[in-house]
Structure 1
Amino acid sequence: MKISYNWLKDFIETEKSPGELSHILTDIGLEVESLEVVQSIPGGLDGLLVGEVKTCVPHPNADRLRVTTVDVGVGELLHIVCGAPNVAAGQRVIVATVGTTLYPKTSEPFKISKSKIRGEVSEGMICAEDEIGLGQSHAGIMVLPDDTPVGMQAKEFFNIQDDYVFEIGLTPNRADAASHLGVARDIAAFLRRGHRLPDVSAFKEVSEGHALAVVVEDTIACPRYSSVSISGVQVGESPKWLKERLSAIGVRPINNVVDITNYVLHGLGQPLHAFDSDTLSGGKVVVRPARAGESFITLDGVERKLHIEDLMICDAEKPLCIAGVFGGVHSGVTETTTNVFLESAYFNPVSVRKTSKRHGLKTDASFRFERGTDPDITMLALKRAALLIVEVAGGHVSTPISDVYPVPIHPFVFEIRYAQVQQLIGKDIPEIEIRSIIEALGIKVRNEATGILTVEVPPYKVDVTREVDITEEVLRIYGYNNIEIKRQIKASLTTSPKPDKETVQNQVADLLIGNGFREILSNSLTKLDYADNPASAVRILNPLSTDLDTMRQNLLFSALEAVAYNQKRKQPDLKFFEFGSTYHTLEEGYLETQHLSLVMTGRQVPEQWNHTNKPVSFYHLKAAVDAVLQRLNITGLQVMDTPEIGYQYGLAYGKGVKSLVTFGAVDHTYLRKTDVTGEVFYADFNWDLIRKAIRKNKITYREVSKFPAVRRDLSLLIDADVSFDALKAIAEKTERKLLKSVNVFDVYRGDKLPSGKKSYALQFVLQDEEKTLNDKQIDAIVKKLIYNFEKDTGAEVRK
């Protein structure tokens, strides 16, 4: 947001320089990102002086040139060769001295230097108005009044003032400061002095006249609508002062009526709109929601399909503009306009924001309306604009003011406690100082009890509705730099859950990165089509787009979109992991769950001459899953076929009925939905359950056994419905002391086996902590294992 220094001084009397104000504004929360000098005339007429032509004689070597001597008040006369036909002795003229840079209207800037012209020395230049940027005429030099002081600076004679423009990084909560008046209010509060509003006492409201009827059908979206008509205006170019004010802050002048509405907008923060009264049908203005299927052509020439929640300003027959956002192609004033209907309204911020987002329209008006304007300033802005239009465009106010305001918006009233304000700030600011700041900010104190104030906050301070907001206001005006950092900090010890959430997450992230995975971060917003259960989806009330209208219910599609993005850029070999949340709506409220996802696709290793191009498989993903669980020391998990949708096949590890992790090959339906090619393997850890599972983990030390472990393998033909978990339970029951681990290292299903059968290759590790096992002991254990497998599951040992 740009703020003009000269314009700002219309609202507050201050001797502070632009540089000093920059520091003040930044300290009180209106960060000045840049400060630039703005000159209404390029160069600002620097180096130009008023001179008196003492002598003027023909040039001895050129018929059209004159040799002059000019007094510019520096003691010595300047010898200047001049080609203007109207130069004469005794004139007061504008002189560009040596070293001055001129900025002509029709050519590039150039610097004046001492030179010889046809043999005669020339120590400057007597200027025409186009040569110094003041006009277009080049018929001759500018001749000033005879009483103009010699040596006077030209910028002083022409009253050329430099301006300074602050570029303020306005935060979204500071809608009250989105104008020169708003910035002046903050400066006034800091300096503890008053600010001033425009004088509208000259506005004389007429009691007669045929006013347009105003009908507000939606008083929720439009709580207040003020208007007046002005007749007999003449639309044309704005005066110089008005164009300079707008140009200084980067607003392009259009015509005198539109420029006045922009001037009031940036001055007072109240958007206005001027309609051509003669184009309004039916003698009335209707503020209503758009009708279903209604379309509208905006000022940019685009036809837009309206939504039934869009608020429209209409006449008796047609819509004229989108309220608070953008005007229509036929709603504005033109060169032929003579009668103006002027609107000054307060629109609901939520309504304007939704409409602005829906149509992708960002304007100066919508910027302010969607953050919250001042409902109490509409009349002041209306009168100010009407007076200025009459001043610069002629005409007269021809109707009484209409002010539709059925339900007034009241100030925010609540209590604040001095002690709480001091505690939050961290300094015992005197109570009288706190009250002084509050009142300086324009907040009224209704009454004061012991240590408690009841305050009345004006509606334009939309972000000040609670005690903590008042505390923030007091702190920024008092000054963050005035809060000392104490040498001693008193704090109570608080317990934190073990193990530390961040530590565990970092340990797992380091493990995965060390195994070739890359971390991704995805948007929690996604589209409804990606939801596992649309009925329990958390929908966004005001989505940025249809692709970002739902909080994600899984991390699968985030991973697949990352895979698709990389595949399309010729990066097919991928290993990703992501920590993120999923969101669901339940009967008792909302549920947010932390997850860890892994995804693998492509080749095991990048293509090289000494490696075969083997793709990753389910077992590579399983190894990564097992590595994570082993790193966290999670043991004793049940293994089952994954019950989750989205997999072609897979496994789940769990405890009881809860799955800690599911993993497998992603179903091709999901791959097609995200435009992914090839096989993709995906794992999903319920990170909340994982953290609970490791909560009671203890670090234990066990000496490395002095005696070797022994491995034996068995290949079993079993029924297809027999799980590895069941086989593992049988093995552990058979040998409790010496059996250290059971693992499956191969699974086979195929037409070479009988129908309904599968083959498991199991690995058994045996070890005695006290002695070396001999073959007789090992064979006895293996025989017992085979016997129990055959008895309990009908397994057959494959040779």
Structure 2
Amino acid sequence: MRQTARSLGLRTEASARFERALPPELALAGARRAAALIAELAGGQVHREWADVYPRPQEPVRVNLRPALIDEVLGTHVPLEDAESILKRLNFHVKVQGGGEWDVLPPVFRLDVSIPEDLVEEVGRIYGYDRVPPTLPGRRHDRWTPIGPSIDRRLDDAREVLAGAGYTETWNPALVSGRKLEDLRIAAHAMRVTNALSDDMDTLRTSLLPSLLGAVAVNRDHGRVDVRLYEIASAYLARVGGKSTQPEEPLRLAAVASAGTSADQGRKAFYGLKSVLDACTAALSAPASTYQRAAAQLYHPGRCAAVVIDGRQLGYLGELHPSVTTSAKVEGRMVAFEIDVEPLLAIARISRAQPLPRFPAVERDVAVVVEETVAAGAILAAIKESAGDLLEHVGAFDEYHGTQVPDGHKSIAFTLTFRSPERTLTDAEVDRVMSEIKLGLEKRHRARFRE
């Protein structure tokens, strides 16, 4: 109506009225009322035939209302008799149908009523909003089912840790080159796509690391030297004996980081990435990770560890094999990890506040000299076994190779924290425990100790 009046340049009282969506049925009703007043007050005569150009009469709007919806939306009980009376007083025609539903016909001038909720609003404003009990928004329930955050929302804590460590999140296509997976020897559970668009995107990826290395190569081409990337996405593994069925889709977290060119830089990058992974598991309220020597595809032999949490292996951490970085056209060393996320979240524990200790702790450092083949984890296990309940925490903080240790040996330094929940420990008590620890290490690993 407004557009027609504007295009014709004709602004009338009718256009001003009906462009506001006034009901056209009121025009005839108003004319009849005016004619009746003229006949009553001025003695005029009313013609029986009305001149009315009305090509598209207004169609009546009928609304089906389920009476129970009134109580559900308003949150309070309105008797059916009161609700029906309110609608009839507002000139709504109410007819009860089979099944208890109401067939409601609004007045011709109520074009704003078209859905059941409009009828509920009419009942509510007449019944009185002050009679609705004040509660939180939503339907009122007598019981509640707690809704936990989604997996992606829970992983936001890990994302914050990775972002704080300088890692950038990436999103890579799930389709990769099948030939590339075969060259990397990770195509055992790969699934090829029928009618692939190109040879570079003909297979569902079985690991996130090749895609991340491709992103590293792109960043290197644009001048970035120290590249740190991570991705949270699904891998696709064909089920055993059924490559025509839907694949397994484990959700994984993978990260890669530049590790320089020398062995010393590679070691530092490895331990740096390990600390980032430990921080991620701690942020997700999961038990602490343990690491075991392992051999896996894509990783350098002797520089790879299996990530184990609560007795379950979740993935691998280590330095990538030179052939892997070469195939991705990435120069220098790269460290990476890839773990399954859903098992990690399944064993996550609810964080609970712990009371502050009442008594002070006693810290001691010990440097253990053992053969190169002895793992630090084995030494940690021996220390915990010999220390007993007084040992609160133990951690390695240094590894030394040099003139002060014999050839074929290494020195690993540990910090031990002792505390008793009942009393303040004396130096004699701590010395006695330290003697037991050293004796156990000597027997089990033929260890010696640096002063």
Please report the TM-score for the alignment, with normalisation by the length of structure 2: 0.61
The alignment partner of 1:591 has SS state of coil
Cα separation, 1, equivalents of 2:274 and 2:428: 35
Match of 1:596 in 2: 253
Partner of residue 710 from structure 1, selected from 349, 362, 369: 362
Instruction: Note if contact 1:601-1:615 (Cα within 8 Å) is conserved in structure 2.
Output: no
User: Any residues of structure 2 matched to 1:17-166 within 5 Å, and which?
Assistant: none
Match of 2:399 in 1: 747
Partner of residue 558 from structure 1, selected from 211, 234, 250: 211
Instruction: Note if contact 1:639-1:724 (Cα within 8 Å) is conserved in structure 2.
Output: no
Larger % of helix: which? 2
Instruction: Note if contact 2:234-2:251 (Cα within 8 Å) is conserved in structure 1.
Output: yes
Amino acid of the residue matched to residue 413 of structure 2?
Answer: A
Cα separation, 1, equivalents of 2:266 and 2:381: 34
Instruction: Note if contact 2:382-2:440 (Cα within 8 Å) is conserved in structure 1.
Output: yes
Q: Deviations over 1:630-650 (max 9, x none)?
A: 212322543211332222213
Matched, 1:585 2:238: yes
RMSD, aligned α-carbons: 3.2
Cα distance 1:752–1:547, how it changes in 2: closer, same or farther (>3 A)?
farther
Between the two proteins, the alignment pairs up a number of residues equal to: 307
The alignment partner of 1:698 has SS state of coil
Matched, 1:654 2:311: no
Alpha-carbon distance, 1:662 to partner? 2.0
Instruction: Note if contact 2:401-2:409 (Cα within 8 Å) is conserved in structure 1.
Output: yes
Alpha-carbon distance, 1:554 to partner? 0.6
Matched, 1:518 2:175: no
Cα distance 1:512–1:749, how it changes in 2: closer, same or farther (>3 A)?
same
Cα separation, 2, equivalents of 1:536 and 1:555: 14
Structure number, greater radius of gyration: 1
Cα separation, 2, equivalents of 1:738 and 1:585: 50
Cα distance 1:591–1:734, how it changes in 2: closer, same or farther (>3 A)?
same
Amino acid of the residue matched to residue 761 of structure 1?
Answer: A
Instruction: Note if contact 1:745-1:763 (Cα within 8 Å) is conserved in structure 2.
Output: yes
The alignment partner of 1:640 has SS state of strand
The alignment partner of 2:352 has SS state of coil
Match of 1:763 in 2: 415
Cα separation, 1, equivalents of 2:332 and 2:362: 40
Alpha-carbon distance, 1:797 to partner? 1.7
User: Percent same amino acid among aligned pairs?
Assistant: 25
Alpha-carbon distance, 1:521 to partner? 0.7
Cα separation, 1, equivalents of 2:149 and 2:448: 46
Match of 1:781 in 2: 433
Larger CA deviation: 536-545 vs 646-655: 646-655
Cα separation, 2, equivalents of 1:538 and 1:484: 51
Cα distance 1:723–1:485, how it changes in 2: closer, same or farther (>3 A)?
farther
Alpha-carbon distance, 1:731 to partner? 1.8
Alpha-carbon distance, 1:763 to partner? 2.1
Match of 2:376 in 1: 724
Cα separation, 1, equivalents of 2:268 and 2:374: 27
Partner of residue 190 from structure 2, selected from 537, 553, 573: 537
Larger % of strand: which? 1
Structure 1 unaligned blocks of 5 or more: 1-482, 604-612
User: Any residues of structure 2 matched to 1:164-175 within 5 Å, and which?
Assistant: none
Cα separation, 1, equivalents of 2:379 and 2:445: 8
Match of 1:32 in 2: none
Cα separation, 2, equivalents of 1:494 and 1:675: 55
Instruction: Note if contact 1:654-1:660 (Cα within 8 Å) is conserved in structure 2.
Output: yes
Cα distance 1:556–1:714, how it changes in 2: closer, same or farther (>3 A)?
same
Alpha-carbon distance, 1:600 to partner? 1.5
Cα distance 1:736–1:661, how it changes in 2: closer, same or farther (>3 A)?
farther
Cα separation, 1, equivalents of 2:115 and 2:330: 57
Structure 2 unaligned blocks of 5 or more: 1-113, 121-137
Matched, 1:503 2:156: no
Amino acid of the residue matched to residue 698 of structure 1?
Answer: I
Cα separation, 2, equivalents of 1:495 and 1:525: 39
Instruction: Note if contact 1:601-1:616 (Cα within 8 Å) is conserved in structure 2.
Output: no
Cα separation, 1, equivalents of 2:190 and 2:318: 25
Partner of residue 330 from structure 2, selected from 664, 672, 676: 676
Alpha-carbon distance, 1:759 to partner? 3.0
Matched, 1:693 2:347: yes
The alignment partner of 1:521 has SS state of coil
Match of 1:573 in 2: 226
Match of 2:286 in 1: 634
